[in-house]
Amino acid sequence: MTQRIHFNEVVTRDGFQMEPEFVATEAKIALIDALSQCGYAKIEVTSFTSAKAIPMLRDAEEVMGRIQRVPGVEYTVLVPNLRGAERAMEVKPDEFNLVMSTSQTHNLANLRMPREHSFVALREVIERFGAQVPINVSLSACFGCPMEGEVPQSEVMGWAQRFADLGVRGLTICDTTGMAQPRQVAAMCEALRQKFPDLQLTLHFHNTRGMGLSNVLAAVQSGIDRFDGSLGGLGGCPYAPGASGNICSEDAIHMLDAMGCDTGIDLQRLLPIARQLPAIVGREVPGQVAKSGLITDLHPAPESVAHLIKEFS
Ligand code: COA
Ligand code: ZN
């Protein structure tokens, strides 16, 4: 049976949030509208954070209000607190993606409050808005914190349980600075699937140390069918030292397609969009398949072997 894998494209949120040059609102909208035609299950459009903390996404309302929503694609937004939830509700997203870190130090750096305060604030958001909009919770630094080091699996399971008890629809387990390795991922995914069989479980990897696609594979082999990825491999949390890009969506999708999985995504449409990214952000991007082409894009044999081909055929 073909394994169905659902992709959430985060380029205009995680992907852009650390880019130094502001990406114009029009360019963000055009990019999301193009991505909407590619077969994604979900697109994380923007975040309703403080404009001082994440200046790149200060146009959240306008972007969410002006994109053309395609039926079948869910448009989700990141929400860090009640103020963000109130702002987001005005533009009626299909999902709230709440966020907190499993590492105390990273939570203090990113959200400027201890984890327990974040939990109370997010619980308030769930109580206020949970009946109106599906809630996903992204847990950051689940495979290690760049300041604290190891984050035990039991810590992640504990926070996951607290949000599951509040009735959320899904959890995203984030490797915020690319510290996860495949065996750790397999153990985490198996434990989560066993404990939360009814939750939508999504894995969010960064390729900071080149382990991103290995971790995707480990998660797929452990039965995970939802992933976040960023076009071109852009991305990173500005409040996590050493952060760099998410796994590259088109590279991950290409790998899964080659393995015979069904991602629902049309790579022939996606690759030309990925190739526009360097012009949008003004620099080269890490993604590889947009540069190399698909494994099915073959090259003609060099002139010099023509006579050999003839001779040996
Ligand atoms: N949207 C817009 N403005 C917000 C806001 C929101 N969701 N939450 C707070 N603010 C504003 C406040 O009005 C205040 O503005 P002022 O200085 O003009 O009065 C300012 O931000 C500080 O408010 P405060 O409640 O003290 O928040 P804080 O400084 O503790 O910051 C966060 C809390 C969560 C808003 C902020 O740390 C943040 O946005 N972090 C970004 C997290 C993120 O997206 N990281 C990357 C993704 S994981
Ligand atoms: Zn991330």
pLDDT digits (tens, 9 = 90+) for 65-77: 999 999 999 999 9
Atom of ligand 1 nearest to the CA of 57: 44
Residue 160 to residue 85: CA distance in whole angstroms: 20
Q: Considering every ligand atom shown, identify the ligand nearest to the alpha carbon of residue 99 and give its number.
A: 1
User: What are the two backbone dihedrals, phi and then psi, of residue 183, each rounded to the nearest 5 degrees?
Assistant: -70, -40
Amino acid letter, residue 128: R
Residue 145 has pLDDT above 80, yes or no: yes
Atom of ligand 1 nearest to the CA of 84: 7
Average model confidence (pLDDT) across the chain: 97
Residue 136 to residue 98: CA distance in whole angstroms: 6
Residue 208 has pLDDT above 80, yes or no: yes
Q: How far is CA 159 from CA 49, 97, 130, 193, 197, in A?
A: 22, 15, 18, 15, 16
* pLDDT the model gives residue 1: 73
Q: Considering every ligand atom shown, identify the ligand nearest to the alpha carbon of residue 228 and give its number.
A: 2
237 an active-site residue?
Answer: yes
Which residues surround ligand 1 with Cβ inside 6 Å? 17, 47-50, 52-54, 80-81, 83-84, 87, 99, 110-113, 140, 237, 239
| Domain definitions of the chain by residue range | 6-312
Annotated catalytic residue, options 38, 189, 237, 248:
237
Ranges of beta strands (E only) in 50-111 are: 74-79, 95-101
Class of the domain covering 6-312: alpha beta
By most ligand atoms within 8 Å of CB, the mutation choice from 46, 50, 52, 237 for ligand 1 is 50
pLDDT tens profile 278-308: 999 999 999 999 999 999 999 999 999 999 9
Nearest CA to ligand 1 atom 8: 50
Q: Considering every ligand atom shown, identify the ligand nearest to the alpha carbon of residue 14 and give its number.
A: 2
Indicate the pLDDT class of residue 217, thresholds 50, 70 and 90. very high
For residue 230, the cross-strand partners are 248
Angle at 175 between CA 2 and CA 244, to 5 degrees: 110
pLDDT tens profile 86-119: 999 999 999 999 999 999 999 999 999 999 999 9
